[in-house]
Amino acid sequence: MDHFLYRNGELHAEEVRVADIVAAVGTPLYIYSTATLTRHYRVFDEALSGMPHLIAYAVKANGNLAVLKTLGDLGAGMDVVSEGEFRRALAAGVPGGRVVFSGVGKTADEIAFALAHNVRQLNVESFEELELVSRVAVANNAVAPVALRVNPDVDAKTHAKIATGKSENKFGIPISRAREAYARAKSLPGIEAMGVDVHIGSQLTDLAPFESAFRKVAELTRLLREDGHDIRRIDLGGGLGIPYRQANEAPPLPFDYGALVKRTVGDLGCEIEIEPGRLIAGNAGILVSEVIYRKQGEGREFLVLDAAMNDLIRPAMYDAWHDIVPLKEPAPGVEKAEVDVVGPICETGDTFARARPLPPLGPGDLVAFRSAGAYGAVMSSEYNGRRLVPEVLVNGDQFAVVRARPSFEEMLARDTIPAWTA
């Protein structure tokens, strides 16, 4: 459930009429719901109740400072994958002690930054990274708290671009070499390996791959303890999927995920960390756009919007489906016609939906892409000279612009022309 519902025939974000936000900010724009973000955080928190745990929200799903502050104030930790994301977490008031640093390619500077800010944990993904983390820690008179990310060779059964837990993926240390890696970690002066980490992919719609990965982690944890390692934390990553098609998708619920966590790793006495991104932010956001043209093609009709793939790349990149709804609630029983919903960018890939049954819509009408709160604005760009899409956060009957649409002047001012040109 989210908080984008029709009231009196018009789409609302919580108690605010979406059309009122459009009147103030223009289109395209993203709108996020505080109530939905809060609810999703709490659902996870309850699902893991009874076990010591930290919900480290994956900043990469939606890193707007207002979103991070909202979640951080509830007690969330943050899972970051770069110094830039780390700085976002800090700027939102989340201390380094609640920040987990993930990622396959941390640089020496990023590791030093994390240690200087008392990072809770570095999730280390290779033997090579272990050596670098130890060197940087020693140079800074620190000992790095480390979890090793193991690759359990589990098929997450999700889109190939977001599956990360198979042996052919670039992520983690093969689980078959994990004991060797922990032995190496123990011999290094700058490392304290106290955790095991796993993340097998994103948008998982079935619990079975999680179950096999978590069982492998539990078994490994027992072996590592026999080897004399003091494993105190287990980080199970993110990845729980959301329903992008309200009509016919029912991915597992956080409650069932929590029960699975308890069943598989709950008896180890470890602190549990999870890193959900999409499930917290995905259904907490919409992208609102205006129809520019209804264009007649050969045997098909195109709805040309003022939003494009640079604003929401998921359909082009992951073949993703987003429900598209008009801001004005269609009359019951209104006839739908199939249209291709496209943006203005000069690429055929700039297509949001093909042959999508939609009620009659024409120039000036407003539509919303649902489930656009995760991997939406964070992946936006200025491709085709388009201004970065603005973001708005709603809270009850209030809304605030939390990232303004830049002016064309600001956009141009970032480039400089070298002196040698005439």
Whether residue 389 contacts residue 372, with contact meaning beta carbons closer than 8 Å, is answered with no
Minimum distance between the CB of residue 181 and ligand PLP, rounded to whole angstroms?
Answer: 17
Pick the stretch among 56-64, 304-312, 386-394, 412-420 that binds ligand PLP (CB under 6 A). Answer: 56-64
Q: Does 119 bind ligand PLP (CB under 6 A)?
A: no
Minimum Å gap between C-beta 275 and ligand PLP is: 4
- Name which position in 58, 92, 234, 270 contacts ligand PLP (CB under 6 A): 58
Residue partners of 396: CB distance under 8 A and separation at least 6:
14, 15, 34, 35
Closest separation in Å from C-beta 240 to ligand PLP? 6
Shortest Cβ 116–ligand PLP spacing (Å): 22
> Binding segment for ligand PLP among 58-66, 221-229, 339-347, 353-361 (CB under 6 A)?
58-66
Instruction: Provide the angle, in degrees to the nearest 10, between the axes of the packed helices 83-91 and 108-116.
Output: 20
191-250 residues near ligand PLP, rule: CB under 6 A? 199, 202, 237-239
Distance CA 239, CA 203 (A): 5
Which residue among 60, 88, 216, 229 contacts ligand PLP (CB under 6 A)?
A: 60
Q: Known binding site: residues?
A: 239, 275-278, 314, 318, 347, 375
Select the residue interacting with ligand PLP from 4, 38, 70, 79 (CB under 6 A).
79
DSSP letter, residue 93 = T
3-state secondary structure of 123: strand
Residues 85-104 that bind ligand PLP (CB under 6 A): 102
C-alpha to C-alpha distance for 59 and 275, rounded to whole angstroms: 9
Look at residue 30 and give its three-state secondary structure: strand
270 is catalytic: no
Q: With H, G, I as helix, E, B as strand and everything else as coil, classify residue 29.
A: strand
Residue pair 385/394 in contact by the 8 Å Cβ criterion: no
Cα 141 to Cα 95, 115, 134, 138, 230: the distances in Å are: 20, 10, 10, 5, 22
- Name the helix (H) or strand (E) containing 150: strand 144-151
Q: How many whole angstroms separate alpha carbon 101 and alpha carbon 273? A: 12
Angle between helix 254-265 and helix 34-47 axes, rounded to 10 deg: 30
Provide, rounded to whole angstroms, the least separation between the CB of residue 374 and ligand PLP. Answer: 6
Residues of span 294-333 touching ligand PLP by CB under 6 A = none
Choose, from 346, 417, 419, 422, the residue flagged as catalytic: 346
What part of residues 258-297 is at the interface with ligand PLP (CB under 6 A)? 275-279
Catalytic residues: 346
Query: Which residues of the chain form contacts with ligand PLP (CB under 6 A)?
Result: 58, 60-61, 79, 102, 199, 202, 237-239, 275-279, 374
